[in-house]
Amino acid sequence: MNLSSQVNRAFFRFLIVSGMILMISVILVILLSMAFYLDLPTFSSALVSAEILSAIRLTAITTTITTFISVVLALPTAYALSRYKLPFHALIDTIIDLPIVLPPLVAGIALLVFFQTAGGKWIEAHIMPFVFTTQGIVLAQLVPAASFCVRSLKAAFDSVDPRMEQVARTLGCSERQAFSQVLLPLARNGLVAGAIMTWARAAGEFGPILMFCGATRYKTEVLSIAVFLNMSIGRVEMALSVTIILVIMAAVSLLLFRKLGGRGYLW
């Protein structure tokens, strides 16, 4: 190889590698600058304050309920999308993806408007009030979380060759048996990984909760709302402490997701 092509190759590689280093640095600098703004005593005292503990508990409860409902809704949907030849497949796909792609505020506004309709009012009167309530948090998280759950569960099902179920059918399995005896065991890790990511996504949700439930201390104060509230009254250390908690949660769930062999990119 002559000198000019060697130089070209080196320059190309330099561009690629520096681009990547720049990307990584941007992310790390932003995240670490938050960490270095605080010191450990401030962080730990914020962590054990009544407000933050309540926010952690509320987040844990609502997010778990949301994830549970999401999985129940998403399992049959993901199975149908993965295994059936549906009419208007592209349309159905788009509809299910909408809540993820829409700006988060839109989900909140849509929920508000729904509960102004006759049907919504009936629900508030006869089942349970949701607007500007604690239980409304679950609904606000559910809209984007359920769609996200469908995506991740579908990815888990897609990773299993449908020929496995076909062969199982020839061996005497009904469709249901092929699902429970072949697909489910093989997709299990991917399904759990998908549920974990759904949980993480729901836990970080902010826009819909703000619009639909409001930002009331303690009452609708999940972790993301806690950041907002504290920032808006100037308590930066509190806000930052909660932010760090959220970052740690995100990192841990991502790690678990990869560990369980979660495939692809769901977002």
Residues that bind another protein (CB under 8 A): 161, 163-164, 166-174, 177, 181-182, 185-186
Shortest Å, Cβ 175 to another protein: 8
Q: In the complex, what is the shortest distance from the CB of residue 21 to another protein, in angstroms, rounded to a whole number? A: 38
From the CB of 185, what's the least distance to another protein, in Å? 5
Sign of CA dihedral 13, 33, 215, 220: positive
Closer CB to another protein, residue 47 or residue 173?
173
Please choose, from the candidates 142, 143, 246, 252, the residue with its C-alpha nearest in 3D space to the C-alpha of residue 197: 252
Q: Which amino acid is at 88?
A: F
CB of 18 or CB of 180, closer to another protein: 180
As to burial, measured by CB atoms within 10 angstroms (0-12 exposed, 13-18 middle, 19+ buried), residue 242 is buried
* Residue 181 C-beta: closest distance to another protein, Å: 8
Nearer residue to another protein within complex by CB, 109 or 186: 186
Sequence-separated (6 or more) residues with CB below 8 Å from residue 121: 115
Q: d(Cα 213, Cα 120) in Å, to the nearest integer? A: 15
Q: What minimum distance in Å lies between the beta carbon of 161 and another protein?
A: 7
Q: Which of 126, 163 has the CB closer to another protein? A: 163
CA distance 235 to 233: 6
Residue 1, helix vs strand vs coil = coil
The answer to whether the CB of 238 falls within 8 A of the CB of 167 is no
Least distance (Å) between residue 222 CB and another protein: 38
Closest CB to another protein among residues 95, 164: 164
Q: Which helix (H) or strand (E) holds 24?
A: helix 3-37
SS3 195: helix
Min separation Cβ 178 and another protein, Å: 8
Structure tokens at 253: 């769930």
Residue whose token pair is 């941007």: 26
Inter-residue contact 231 to 237 (CB < 8 Å): no
Shorter beta-carbon distance to another protein: residue 169 or 235: 169
Nearer to another protein, 215 or 260 (CB): 260
Residue pair 175/184 in contact (Cβ under 8 Å)? The answer is no
